[in-house]
Chains A and B, each alone.
Chain A
Amino acid sequence: MLNYIWISLIAIGILVAVGNDVRDEVQNSYRNGIPIEATVAIQKSPTSLRQTWEGDLIVNAEAFNSFYGIKTVKVEIHQPIVINMVTTGEPEASLPLGSASPDLWKEMAKAATSKEKLVGAVRSMTLAPDQRTARLQIVIEPIRFMKTKAVTQAALDYATTAVTIALGLIGIMALWLGVMKVAEEAGLLRIVTRMLTPVTKRLFPDVPTDHPAIGAMIMNIAANMLGLSNAATPLGLKAMEELNKLNPKVGTATNAMVTFLCINTGGLILIPATAIAVRASAGSANPGIIIGTSIFGAGCATVAGVVAARILQRLPRYKKDLEPEVGKEASHG
């Protein structure tokens, strides 16, 4: 199943990206080659040393929306602009993007020559009599294959991110695996394990009740519930390693592993700290209001996951994966 989901994510992603690009090209969504009209509030005029105009490009929201055929811009746009007078040809305009720039332009810049700015050619520039403003017609550089470029970038970025995440785990993994080893040698894990035997016996019938895997799983679930994600991952990986020692078939997930994974992906947590923090920073009158609802939601997820795991593991197609195969390479479904 994972094979199909994995290839679907990639194939759908690439197809949709190409489809979006074709649509953009046909509709000319980014108005390649078409001049946009705007006013410039001039702050600096050219001098003998500097052949540039600097100021703010002002486009009112309606004009911008109707030019690009969108509805999202609500306020008048004030976008910094630098116009460079070149000796031959049309003057070059450069639009450095910042917080005041419209989202569409920021989006377009991702596929532009420079990520930080859009460049364009000034078709015409008419100065007002007081030399403080000018009417402009600018053609912004052509934007093409935006989604395909984004997909390429994402694939490369995420490969790096994966390594960063994994390397970031090393220290914290070492700390908790060290502590767990001490707890194991001292027999502490066995004490924790024995206390919860009535529960674990039912959840993980294939795992001996005093196996170190049980202790690690309990510790992992407890850490998750307290929101100690730094400690939870190493403990969870320790649990997986212990569960793998009971695995009759290397490279294939056991029933206990899947049940344990489902408890983890249910994400039962007593205080959803991240969500609360985001709510508080967004100015909520009662950020903690979602504690109860989250526990309910995560409870549903956990129970459904464990029940689903228990039912699915009985299906013949999943059952046969665990049977030892003789003289044949394991199939990876």
Chain B
Amino acid sequence: MGDLFRALINAVSIVAIPLLLILFLGYGILKKVRVYEVFVEGAKEGFTTAIRIIPYLVAMLCAIGIFRASGALELLTTVLAPVTNLIGMPPETLPMALMRPLSGSGSLGIMTELMKVHGPDSFIGVLASTMYGSSETTFYVLAVYFGSVQIKNTRHAVPAGLIADLFGMLGAVFICRILFGV
């Protein structure tokens, strides 16, 4: 069942883009849209949008980079370890949970390291990879998406995004403990 689902989704992911391209452009032709001209017209915005997000991305990534390089994460892990022990979350996975909203490459590195040390099928390995799959890099998404439309006052986006991350991590711990817990 699981394998079938996986195979199906994999197949869909592989054909999705070619299918979308032919469907969208084909439908356009059918509706007498001057596809080439309209495509180019839309594509023009690609450059300006990408350039627009640069200042936002520089601000965000530099702050995250400084935080990562300083060793503050290790300090935070020591401080928070007693709390996470209460909910049955191994302290080894705490850096993963803290890094996930900040940096995609950083959390990928932590996940790889945890699997190398503890094994991919250990509880820690399964939990770390579930955590990785349970959330997105909130601050990156925030910088890119809001940057593209020059939003500076993000209002409740940060608290709401962090609540989402918190529940993602808690959900990952909960389901892993039920299914693979010791």
Is the pair B135, A265 in contact by a Cβ cutoff of 8 Å?
Answer: yes
Interface set, chain A 236-254, CB cutoff 8 A to B: 236-237, 240-241, 243-244, 247, 250-253
Which residues of chain A come closer than 8 Å to B166, judged between CB atoms? Answer: 304
Interface set, chain B 105-160, CB cutoff 8 A to A: 108, 111-112, 115-116, 119-121, 125-126, 129-138, 141-142, 144-146, 148-160
CB distance from A148 to the nearest CB of B (A): 9
Q: Known contacts A293-B175, A298-B135: does B41 contact A181 (CB below 8 Å)?
A: yes
CB distance from B164 to the nearest CB of A (A): 3
Beta-carbon contacts of A280-305 to B below 8 Å, as 1s and 0s? 00111111111111101111111111
Most chain A Cβ neighbours within 10 Å, of B38, B153, B155? B155
CB distance from B9 to the nearest CB of A (A): 5
Which residues of chain B come closer than 8 Å to A188, judged between CB atoms? Answer: 24, 27-28
Q: Does A171 interact with chain B (Cβ within 8 Å)?
A: yes
Which residues of chain B come closer than 8 Å to A291, judged between CB atoms? Answer: 2, 5-6
CB distance from B168 to the nearest CB of A (A): 3
Interface set, chain A 136-195, CB cutoff 8 A to B: 147, 150-151, 153-155, 157-159, 161-163, 165-167, 169-188
Q: Known contacts A226-B9, A226-B16: does B66 contact A252 (CB below 8 Å)?
A: no
CB distance from B118 to the nearest CB of A (A): 10
Q: Does A106 interact with chain B (Cβ within 8 Å)?
A: no
Q: Does A20 interact with chain B (Cβ within 8 Å)?
A: yes
Q: Does B10 interact with chain A (Cβ within 8 Å)?
A: yes
Most chain A Cβ neighbours within 10 Å, of B30, B50, B138, B175? B50
CA distance A289 to B160 in the complex (A): 29
Is the pair B158, A278 in contact by a Cβ cutoff of 8 Å?
Answer: no
- The listed residue (B40, B53, B134, B153) touching A298 by CB distance below 8 A is B134
Is the pair A2, B158 in contact by a Cβ cutoff of 8 Å?
Answer: yes
Q: Which A residues lie at the B interface, using CB under 8 A?
A: 1-2, 5-6, 9-10, 12-17, 20, 147, 150-151, 153-155, 157-159, 161-163, 165-167, 169-188, 223, 226-228, 231, 233-234, 236-237, 240-241, 243-244, 247, 250-253, 257-258, 261-262, 264-267, 269-276, 278-279, 282-294, 296-305, 308-309, 312-313, 315, 318, 321-322, 330-333
Q: Which B residues lie at the A interface, using CB under 8 A?
A: 2-3, 5-6, 9-10, 12-13, 16-17, 20-21, 24-25, 27-28, 30-31, 33, 35, 38-47, 49-51, 53-54, 57-72, 75, 101, 108, 111-112, 115-116, 119-121, 125-126, 129-138, 141-142, 144-146, 148-161, 163-172, 174-176, 179
